[in-house]
Amino acid sequence: MKVNIMIIDATFWVAVSFIIFFGILIYLKIPQKINQILNKLISEIKNEIDESEKLRTEAKTLLNNAQNKLNTAQSINREILEQAKKDSDNLIIELNDKFHKFSEIKKSSAENKISQMKEAAIKEIKDASIKIAVDSVKKVIITSVDKSKLDNLFHKNLNETKEELKKINS
């Protein structure tokens, strides 16, 4: 029996101390407290996960909204640029047309002025030639007393003047 007491003795005391240790833990409700602490931590972690999921969903919604606004802004920007290009093209065409019309008006006005100046110059030439003819006839009349010569010269100069006037009028 002595052998039995030794085996029981060391093993027995380890087993007894083990049981006493677990008994104290259970008596002091340590596993329940640990379980409560763990449940509280699990609950906090779940709350944080739920909150982060909500934040992720909100962030995704905000990102989608921002992307939609960006797409809309880009679309509007493209439309504005296209409209501005069309407007500038139309303005260039309109200004080009106005320029050509204005240059045609200026050209026509210049041609009219040139025509008027030409007519005025022809009239001045006619008037001057008539004046010269009349002056020459007067000189001939003054210098020559012979009436027959005077009549011949007058008719000759008159015919020449008529011929010159016909040439100029043609």
Domain spans, the chain: 2-169
Per-residue tokens: 29: 């409700």
CA atoms within 13 A on the CB side of 86: 6
Share of the chain above pLDDT 70, in %: 89
Q: Which of 30-34, 89-93, 136-140: highest mean pLDDT?
A: 89-93
Q: For position 150, what pLDDT does the model report?
A: 65
Q: Which of the residue ranges 51-60, 91-100, 161-170 would you say has the lowest mean pLDDT?
A: 161-170
On the question of pLDDT at 122 being above 70, the answer is: yes
Q: For position 145, what pLDDT does the model report?
A: 55
* DSSP 8-state symbol, 70: H
Question: Whole-model pTM?
Answer: 0.41
Task: Give tens-digit pLDDT for 60-105.
Answer: 999 999 999 999 999 999 999 999 999 998 999 999 999 899 889 9
Mean pLDDT of all residues in 129-141: 76
Q: Give the Cα separation of 4 and 135 in Å (integer).
A: 180
On the question of pLDDT at 58 being above 80, the answer is: yes
Q: For position 130, what pLDDT does the model report?
A: 80
Q: Give the Cα separation of 108 and 101 in Å (integer).
A: 10
